[in-house]
Structure 1
């Protein structure tokens, strides 16, 4: 599988994660992104022995889009700290069922993950081990019973966007886990990691890298400048 490299320097590797592959090795035994990237670095740079590549954040298996990896332990440590402090801006695109009541808004929920079922639920704030989840959304376009949303994360909880949009009454197209009443088996989840913005952990320069979803159904229903080509600034 060919992985698109969006940006690479001595400290960072930003790639476009393909849909339906795990970020790291899991119980499925399927090929994973981290291992593939390490192998690619080993071959491209003729590196002997093991290759270091730091995993500092994750995307759900069915989600594609931009991801950042650290090529040095210094960059990994600094990026991990930036994620912990929520200073890295992450924007997602999603095609959802229906049209939200408001063109833009902020969603605040408390979430709890059942690790045995690998499913997240909205719970009350005082529920044991509940985690606060916050995101902003904006409706970019609406057509034929679907809407294209831009989503900015303030927190990084498991399945956060999928759960919160479903709780709002607008589950993501293709999400059988949090929108099984509206979606059909085999449909591809229409959620894409569109952009990531942060200060370079070593060079201290502002950096933004974008990636765009494949222009097929249901993305092709929408007419919006977000659905174009990769951009790096």
Structure 2
């Protein structure tokens, strides 16, 4: 058993955040402990979102011998406030259900715990089958600032994808409307506004063409669910490997089971309005290599 008394400085923290900072536990591990009634606040069970007060006593009855070693993390940039990490395709950014024990969040926090550092958390997400740069905040202030900069479109994300055919014109803008069907976990693109639809804007530029495929860079001006995947498919150029919006038959013929889409560059386009994070102004984080680019467009450099 372990017990902590909440200090004045720690007052206001969520229970899950408090435990992550104390133990560096992956969220999945913490959620399981909570479900099994092994975490108490003042001898009572509380939700993960419970805000602690000064003097609260948090008790853990967790035995940690069952924690497993997680794979290493590919860090692209790190300082005292933030992390930029390469998320592999086929890995969850995080899992709010607590059922998955291996997510990028779990791996990052296991790494930080091994270094004796407090836990971090992601400020945005990347789809399970999409790879690329995911930003983590190491403290709440940095997280709030990054979240605000993302909402204000001052964190610029660029993607590379492989699509079927050649876009005409080779560079331009896709602008239409996206309607999300949460039950089916997919979106639909329309040229005219309909109830519940939101404007979606993507600038694109063809970087290479060959063997009936195009390597396309996409820059998001809006951040809708499955935006690039659905807009490219609507334009007649589905992403290779994308069964949801493309052709499963074609994808299997090409030997691909996940959409070839990577968030390969993040640029911080803010200034003094970012306060303590203004030192990041003008900085760009870029992937060193992308396996699917080498596979289909060997020799291409971005």
Place the TM-score, normalised by the shorter chain, in its bin.
Answer: 0.7 to 0.9
Tell me, yes or no, if structure 1 residue 41 matches structure 2 residue 112: yes
Equivalence for 2:251: 183
Separation in structure 2 between the aligned mates of residue 167 and residue 197 of structure 1, nearest angstrom: 28
Cα separation, 1, equivalents of 2:77 and 2:161: 24
Q: Which position in structure 1 is the counterpart of 2:19?
A: none
TM-score, structure 2 normalization: 0.68
Q: Secondary structure at the match of 2:168?
A: coil
Whole-Å separation in 2 of the counterparts to 1:75 and 1:186: 38
Cα pair 2:157 2:220 within 8 Å, conserved: yes
Shift of 1:207: 1.3
Count residues in correspondence: 222
User: Are 2:145 and 1:145 equivalent residues in the alignment?
Assistant: no
Q: Which stretch shifts more, 204-213 or 8-17?
A: 204-213
Name the structure 2 match of 1:32: 103
The partner residue of 2:195 within 97, 103, 128 is 128
Equivalent residue, structure 2, for 1:17 = 87
Q: Which residue of 1 aligns with 2:238?
A: 171
Q: For residues 180 and 212 of structure 1, do their structure 2 counterparts lie closer, same or farther at Cα, with a shift above 3 Å needed?
A: farther
Tell me, in whole angstroms, the C-alpha distance in 2 between the residues paired with 1:14 and 1:217: 21
Q: How many Å apart are 1:34 and its aligned residue?
A: 1.1
Distance 1:30 1:99, change over 3 A: farther
Contact between 2:73 and 2:111, CA under 8 Å: does it hold in 1?
A: no
User: Secondary structure of 1:2's partner?
Assistant: coil
Distance change >3 Å, CA 116–CA 30, structure 1 → 2: farther
CA RMSD in angstroms comes to 2.1
Match of 2:58 in 1: none
Among 71, 74, 89, the alignment partner of 2:138 is: 71
Say whether the 8 Å CA contact 1:162–1:172 is kept in structure 2.
yes
Closer, same or farther: CA 219–212 of 1 in aligned 2, 3 Å: farther
Per the alignment, residue 297 of structure 2 pairs with 221
Q: CA deviation at 1:16?
A: 0.7
Please tell me whether residue 204 in structure 1 is matched to residue 240 in structure 2. Answer: no
Higher relative contact order (CA 8 A, sep 6+): 1
Rounded to whole Å, the distance in 2 between the matches of 1:31 and 1:92 is 25
* Larger-Rg structure: 2
Q: TM-score, normalised by structure 1?
A: 0.87
* CA–CA separation in structure 2 for the residues paired with 1:55 and 1:217: 26
CA distance in 2, matches of 1:186, 1:149: 18
The verdict on how the C-alpha distance between 1:219 and 1:92 changes in structure 2, with shifts beyond 3 A counting, is farther
Q: CA deviation at 1:186?
A: 5.1
